[in-house]
Amino acid sequence: MDDPNQKFQPPQSNIFVRTMEDDLKNLQNTGGQVPNIAGQPVENLNVSPTPPPVVPSVPPISTTPEPIPVAPAVNINNNSIFGGDATMGMMADTEAPKEVKGPRPVMSKKIPTKLIMIGGIAVLVIGGALAFYFLVYPKLFDSQPPIVVVPDKFTCDFNYRCIKNPVGDFVTLADCQKTCIKPPVTVVTSTPVTIAPPLALVTLPYNAYTLPMNLSTCATILTSIKAEVKKPAAVETFKILMPKFKTEYLSNPEITGIFIPKVPKELSDVLKEKYLVFAYYGTTTASLGLAMEVGQANIPALKDYFLNWEKKTIVKDLSNFFVTLPATAKLKDKVFKARTFQGADIRGILYTTPQTVLTYGFFNDYLIITTSNEAMDSAVSHLQGGGAVPIIQ
């Protein structure tokens, strides 16, 4: 029978106290090697647990900065402080934010579409302007002939006054004034030149008139000659005019300079002694002419020069040979045309006025210039026979 006292005994404790001695004995019984401490045997060793000295633990210093904790987001639209869900709120409270390593992303700024359109239009306009300037503009304007500015030139008129002339001899007015000086009147005391009488074989009619000249100006001499030509005369009359100053007749270079103010050097260098000033009366108008002795040896070179002169200013330079040229008169032909008459080589250019032709010809030793074909043919006829017509000599 069970002891009744056992009912009142406390139950066995389930607490097991583990000591270091028990661990050493257990290690020895299992064949382990127990260290000898201070020379004492293990079985006699009573180990008293001595607590180790308390050393304050120093946490290791980390070189990596700790991330700044970020407060959890709060949903103000829910009654829960954790965003409406208690479980999610707890997780948000306990979980630490993850550290994001590397450079932070740069937020790109969006360029407005209107600004892009304006920039594109500006580029197109500038590109079009440059293309026009370098590609189109040179083709449009490079073909235009350059503007040639002709400087003012000056020349002397018959009254020894300097006037502007595109083909003048002087570039400045001062240079013209230095040269364009009225020459003094001098008295020639040499032996007077006589007029050769006509030969007995002369059959063509002619009239010879001696013209007293005033040598003050070239214009005055030319005016006196033209005034004599304007006097009435019968049709087909051939009149010889003999300019004379006191007892002296004018020389060939002098009379040529009166009719041609700008005598070409090619002509002035070959002028001889004889000349003949004449007038011929046609059916509608009177023509004035001049025959100059140049010598047959010089005629080929003069022909070449006159052909070149035709392309330049011969019409203007020989305008003094016209007695009266209407203002409405214009050139009918564009070029000089050639013809021959009784051995003379003749060239002329026709005007719109009847019987008006600026013409020149070479016959024997003479160069002849006049203003109608009829006057030219009459002069050639009178020069036939080697001096049958009185020539100043």
Report if residue 109 sits inside a domain. no
In a domain, 8, yes or no: no
Q: Are residues 290 and 329 in the same domain?
A: yes
Q: How many domains does the chain have?
A: 2
Cα–Cα distances (Å) from 130 to 117, 118, 119, 134, 138, in that order, read 20, 19, 17, 6, 12
Return the number of other C-beta atoms located less than 10 Å from residue 220's C-beta: 15
Whether residue 130 lies inside any domain: the answer is no
Helix, strand or coil, per DSSP, at residue 253: helix
221 in the same domain as 323: yes
- Judge whether 386 and 366 are in contact, CB under 8 Å: no
Which among 256, 266, 261 has a CA at the least distance from the CA of 289? 256
Domain encompassing residue 165: 149-181
Q: Report whether 288 contacts 325 (CB < 8 A).
A: no
Q: Is residue 264 a contact partner of residue 305, using CB atoms and an 8 Å limit?
A: yes
Q: What is the pTM of this model?
A: 0.49
Angle at 319 between CA 329 and CA 163, to 5 degrees: 110
In a domain, 137, yes or no: no
Contact 189, 165 (CB under 8 A): no
CB atoms within 10 A of CB 116: 10
What is the full per-residue pLDDT of the chain (393 aa) written as tens digits? 555 555 556 666 566 667 777 777 777 777 666 565 544 554 444 445 555 555 555 555 555 555 555 555 544 444 444 444 444 444 444 555 555 555 565 555 566 788 888 888 988 889 888 887 777 776 666 555 556 555 677 777 656 678 777 666 677 778 777 777 766 654 444 444 444 433 333 344 556 666 666 555 566 788 889 999 999 889 999 988 888 777 778 888 888 988 998 899 999 999 998 899 999 998 888 999 999 999 999 999 999 999 999 999 999 999 999 998 877 788 998 899 999 999 999 999 999 888 899 999 999 899 999 999 999 999 998 887 654 455 665
Same domain, 217 and 320: yes
Both 239 and 374 in one domain: the answer is yes
